[in-house]
Structure 1
Amino acid sequence: MIHEILAVGQLQCNCSVLGDEVSREAIVVDPGADIPVILKVLERHQLTVKQIVVTHAHIDHIAGALELKRLTGAPILYNQLDLPLVAMMSVQAGWLGVATPEVAEPDDSPTDGDVVSVDGLAAKVILTPGHTEGSLCLYLPEEKLLIAGDTLFAGSVGRTDLPGGNTRQLLDSIRDRLLPLPDATRVIPGHGQSTTIGWERKSNPFLQDL
């Protein structure tokens, strides 16, 4: 599998480009900004985007999704429980002091247990509400890989003080849906460095009481 992680935008959101080496089909996760940079990576690997997945509808993760869709024709997937955040995109832009991006409703609303796939590559959707109501992760068991959005970080967890956040729900999501994954599972958070499930279970101070 081809996997490139690009830190995009003002908040350095981790955008993942996942591609199959044979079919050259790709999934792009969280294209929050810097679409020309993402396109260059796709071109370098000769990848065609077939799915655009947004882990949650905060501006730094979703802002470039519609532009990428228009350029590639790929559908946008995110959970519809985050539509209230989409409706307040101008407010989100105000938090960062940036122009309001054009965003759209999802072409499909994946939920827990669904599979997002392209030819040669499949990711299971794990719904992890808490950071936002519709937050989701993508789990690729064959690759021992979890793309966690802003649910779980290296040594930390997602913030819950923004609209739609719920601390108890977030911790329950991590305990019930992420910590049961194999220890060796590599975790790509929405920002910052990667980690593993085993390391976070053992050392993350926010998870020790779980």
Structure 2
Amino acid sequence: MKIERLIIGMLETNGYVIYDENTLEAFIIDPGDEPKTFIDYIDRNNLKPIGIILTHYHYDHIGAVLELKKKYNIPTYIHKKDAEGLKDPYKNHSISNFRKAISIISDRIVVDGDVIKAGEIVLEVIHTPGHTPGGICLKVKNENIIFTGDTIFNIDLGRTDLEGGNYSEMKNSIRNKISKWDDDIIIYPGHGDSASMAYVRKKNMEFLDIMRKR
């Protein structure tokens, strides 16, 4: 499996293109902006996108979805609890530059434990609410890799004071799921650099604060 991180948009969101090197089938994860950046990379490498996976519905993770769907005629995957948020991803958001909401119809609804496949790539959906009600992480089967969206970053956690956020749910996601990940798991977050869980357990103060308050 190959992973390409594309840092896009005014909030420097991490969008990912992951693909099977044999079949060239690819997933696009969180295309938040700059659709041409994704298209150029995909076409230059002769990839075959088969789906867009959204870790949550916030605008900075979905801005390029419509153009990519139109270009490649592929479905969008999102957790059922975040599907409604796609109808108005700018609702109550503090950034006023975005003057209108976009409406995206999700083709594929996922829930905890679902599996999504592209070639030999198998992704397991892990429901991790907190940043949004339907926030998800994506575990790559047979790899120590998890795409975490805005649930957890290398040195902090996703905000819970934005639309859909819930600190109590974030605590539960950290304690009941993320804290159980092995040290050699590498997280690929929605913003910032990747990191091992060993690093997270040393440097992520918000993660440590939740774990200490058990």
Name the TM tier (shorter chain): over 0.9
State the Cα distance separating 1:143 from its structure 2 match.
Answer: 2.5
2:163 alignment partner AA: P
1:1-210 mapped onto 2 (5 Å cutoff)? 1-91=1-91, 95-100=95-100, 102-208=102-208, 209-210=210-211
Q: CA RMSD in A?
A: 1.7
Query: Measured at CA, do residues 21 and 152 of structure 1 come closer, stay the same or move farther in structure 2, by a change above 3 Å?
Result: same
Native 8 Å contact 1:52 1:77 kept in 2: yes
Q: Secondary structure at the match of 2:113?
A: coil
Native 8 Å contact 1:131 1:170 kept in 2: yes
State the Cα distance separating 1:179 from its structure 2 match.
Answer: 2.2
Output the CA distance in 2 between the equivalents of 1:9 and 1:74. Answer: 22
Query: Measured at CA, do residues 119 and 141 of structure 1 come closer, stay the same or move farther in structure 2, by a change above 3 Å?
Result: closer
State the Cα distance separating 1:101 from its structure 2 match.
Answer: 5.4
- Number of residue-to-residue matches in the alignment: 210
What's the TM-score, normalizing by structure 1? Answer: 0.93
Output the CA distance in 1 between the equivalents of 2:44 and 2:155. Answer: 33
2:95 alignment partner AA: W
What's the TM-score, normalizing by structure 2? Answer: 0.92
2:65 alignment partner AA: A
Q: Which runs of 5+ in 2 are unaligned?
A: none
Q: Secondary structure at the match of 1:133?
A: coil
Structure 1 runs of 4+ aligned residues shifted over 6 Å read none
Query: Measured at CA, do residues 186 and 137 of structure 1 come closer, stay the same or move farther in structure 2, by a change above 3 Å?
Result: same
2:175 alignment partner AA: R
Native 8 Å contact 1:66 1:103 kept in 2: no
Per mean C-alpha deviation after superposition, the further-off stretch among 78-87 and 23-32 is 78-87
Query: Deviations for 1:112-155, whole angstroms, at most 9, x for unmatched residues?
Result: 11111111111111000000000001111423111100000111
Native 8 Å contact 2:87 2:101 kept in 1: no
Query: Measured at CA, do residues 58 and 81 of structure 1 come closer, stay the same or move farther in structure 2, by a change above 3 Å?
Result: same
1:142 alignment partner AA: N
